[in-house]
């Protein structure tokens, strides 16, 4: 679960983040899910048949957590990025105008609808292109570079959202017992002695620090 | 559902997977002529755009698949920038650096791929059911318990 979550989660790559002291207040949310698992999950012998023998009950849990985090982050950005420009299409001019509203030294991250994948990859204008480093895309517009995170079928959005590193921070409350970023809670289930109620979650908040450091580019869908 | 494959036998298995998905009302997308989910334009970026809009990638790790750079790219793009769950269909003991330990795997022997359809469908349904179950709720609230999928 933890490995799958680490691979699926992008928030700590997309925005600055830190661990929260236990006493820190704020509008923290719990992002996660609660499932019922059978005894096989806790029996070592179940996992001795090699690499394919993990419990199917936990497959997809880590990915689901990553999706939950991403949906929350995108919701927070949509609610709190107030500066907007309207554009007819995603061109060098549109993106240059947008990025020029940020200071030249700002590190800007772009959340881009996947519908624009071809537009950006097949652009004929040499001033705008996507480059990949270890499968991590960067959008280059003239002299500026922006790390790109695509929307997908699980976290869809229609606008281009640009935020600098100063816009906000992801704050995670670690598990108070283990210090891990994911919290696990196990409870017995009444009338089902063989089953365990498992909650796996992250407790986090995306705090807005400088609202002017964000911009939405609205485009026709 | 995007089907990533490579090699001659990979193509045979890919046609079977295309048929399996189609018969069970899923919409395959596959860069292979004369399939239900055929992507008609043989351009890498168009194929990747099609992949990016899918909910699951089925990666066929057959003996020769790992030699294809296009196949590698399709699987790596699913794992990283697209963040699409991958189900690995692995022939025998084919080895690949593309296999991520937590991806569900279905093993099959050469010539015996035809029995895989129910297991493919089982994993697809499980992953789709799980994917939207995670929710953000205030600390004062409770996460709802999900039923077994």
Identify the pLDDT of residue A93.
92
A·B CB contacts under 8 A:
133
DSSP 3-state of B124: helix
Q: Which fold has domain B2-128?
A: Rossmann fold (3.40.50)
- Using 50, 70 and 90 to split pLDDT, how confident is the model at A169? very high
Identify the pLDDT of residue B134.
87
Instruction: Mutation target for B interface from A135, A139, A196: give the one with most B CBs within 10 A.
Output: A135
Alpha-carbon gap, residue A53 to A187, rounded angstroms: 24
B26 versus A192: the higher-pLDDT residue is B26
Which range, of A169-178, B21-30, B96-105, averages the lowest pLDDT? B96-105
DSSP-derived letter for residue B132 is: T
Identify the pLDDT of residue A174.
92
Average pLDDT of A122-130?
Answer: 86
* % residues pLDDT > 90 (chain B): 56
Identify the pLDDT of residue A51.
46
Q: Is the pLDDT of residue B105 over 90?
A: no
Judge: B145–A36 Cβ closer than 8 Å, yes or no: yes
In this structure, are residues A150 and B84 in contact, taking their beta carbons and an 8 Å threshold?
A: no
- The CA distances from residue B14 to A110, A150, A220, B3, in Å, are 35, 27, 36, 7
Residue range A2-78+169-205, CATH number: 3.30.2400.20
A98 versus A192: the higher-pLDDT residue is A98
- Give the B window 105-144 contacts with A, CB below 8 Å: 105, 107, 123, 126-127, 129-139, 141, 143-144
Give pLDDT tens digits for B47-97.
999 999 999 999 998 876 666 889 999 999 999 999 999 999 988 877 777
Q: Where are the domains of chain A?
A: 2-78+169-205, 90-167+210-218
State whether ipTM is beyond 0.90. no
- Residue A166, min C-alpha distance to chain B (Å): 23
Q: What is the mean pLDDT of chain A?
A: 89
A3 versus A88: the higher-pLDDT residue is A88
Quote the tokens at residue A120.
Answer: 């950006």
- Using 50, 70 and 90 to split pLDDT, how confident is the model at B109? confident
DSSP 3-state of B133: coil
Give pLDDT tens digits for A200-214.
999 999 999 999 999
In this structure, are residues B84 and A152 in contact, taking their beta carbons and an 8 Å threshold?
A: yes
Give pLDDT tens digits for B114-128.
889 999 999 999 899
Chain A contact for B94 (CB, 8 A cutoff): no
Q: Which of B44, B31, B33 is nearest to B3 (CA)?
A: B31
Alpha-carbon gap, residue A163 to A169, rounded angstroms: 11
Alpha-carbon gap, residue A3 to A35, rounded angstroms: 18
Which range, of A10-24, A36-50, A68-82, B86-100, averages the lowest pLDDT? A36-50
Which range, of A11-15, B45-49, B82-86, B129-133, averages the lowest pLDDT? B129-133
Identify the pLDDT of residue B101.
75
Please give the model's pTM, rounded to 2 decimal places. Answer: 0.91
DSSP-derived letter for residue B140 is: T
Q: Is the pLDDT of residue A55 over 70?
A: no
Quote the tokens at residue B114.
Answer: 């035809």
Identify the pLDDT of residue A167.
97
Q: How is A81-140 classified by DSSP, letter by letter?
A: ---EEE-SS--HHHHHHHHTTS-TT--EEEEE-GGGHHHHHS---TTEEEEEETTEEEEE
Chain B contact for A94 (CB, 8 A cutoff): no
DSSP-derived letter for residue B86 is: E
Tokens 């992008």 — which residue?
A10
Give pLDDT tens digits for B3-23.
999 888 899 999 999 999 999
Q: Is the pLDDT of residue A38 over 90?
A: no
- Using 50, 70 and 90 to split pLDDT, how confident is the model at B143? confident
Chain A residue whose CA is closest to B105: A52
Relative to beta strand A128-133, strand B29-30 is unpaired
Q: How is A49-73 classified by DSSP, letter by letter?
A: S-TT-S-GGGTTHHHHHHHHHHHHH
Q: Is the pLDDT of residue A50 over 50?
A: no
A2 versus A55: the higher-pLDDT residue is A2
Q: ∠ at Cα A70 (A69, A73), nearest 5°? A: 90
Judge: B80–A136 Cβ closer than 8 Å, yes or no: yes
In this structure, are residues A188 and A196 in contact, taking their beta carbons and an 8 Å threshold?
A: yes
């Amino acid at each position: 679960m933890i490995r799958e979550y680490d691979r699926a989660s992008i928030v700590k790559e997309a925005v600055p983040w830190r661990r929260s002291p236990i006493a820190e207040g704020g509008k923290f949310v719990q992002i996660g899910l609660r499932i019922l698992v059978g005894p096989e999950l806790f029996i070592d012998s179940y996992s001795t048949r090699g690499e394919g023998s993990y419990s199917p009950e936990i497959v997809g849990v880590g990915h689901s957590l990553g999706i939950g985090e991403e949906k929350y982050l995108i919701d927070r950005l949509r609610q709190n990025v107030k500066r907007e420009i309207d554009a007819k299409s995603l061109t060098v001019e549109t993106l240059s105008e947008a990025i020029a509203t940020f200071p030249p030294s700002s590190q800007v991250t772009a959340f881009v609808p996947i519908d624009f994948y071809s537009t950006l990859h097949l652009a004929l204008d040499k001033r705008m292109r996507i480059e990949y480093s270890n499968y991590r895309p960067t959008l280059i517009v003239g002299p500026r570079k922006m790390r790109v995170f695509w929307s997908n079928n699980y976290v869809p959005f229609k606008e281009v959202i640009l935020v600098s590193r100063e816009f906000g921070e992801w704050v995670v409350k670690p598990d108070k017992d283990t210090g891990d970023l994911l919290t696990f809670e196990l409870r017995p289930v009444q009338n089902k002695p063989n089953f365990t109620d498992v909650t796996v979650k992250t407790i986090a908040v995306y705090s807005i620090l400088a609202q002017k450091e964000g911009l939405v580019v609205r485009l026709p869908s | 559902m995007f089907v990533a494959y490579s090699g001659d036998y990979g193509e045979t298995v890919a046609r079977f997977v295309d048929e399996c998905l189609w018969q069970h009302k899923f919409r395959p997308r596959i860069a292979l002529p004369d399939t239900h989910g055929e992507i008609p334009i043989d351009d890498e970026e168009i194929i990747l755009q099609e992949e990016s809009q899918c909910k699951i990638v089925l990666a066929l790790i057959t003996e020769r698949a790992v030699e294809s750079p296009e196949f590698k790219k399709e699987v790596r793009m699913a794992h990283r920038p697209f963040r699409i769950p991958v189900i690995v269909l692995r022939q025998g003991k084919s080895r690949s650096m593309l296999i991520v330990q937590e991806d569900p795997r279905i093993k099959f022997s050469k010539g015996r791929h035809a029995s895989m359809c129910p297991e493919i469908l089982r994993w697809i349904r499980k992953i789709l059911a799980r994917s939207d179950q995670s929710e953000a709720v205030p600390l004062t609230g409770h996460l709802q318990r999900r039923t077994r999928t």
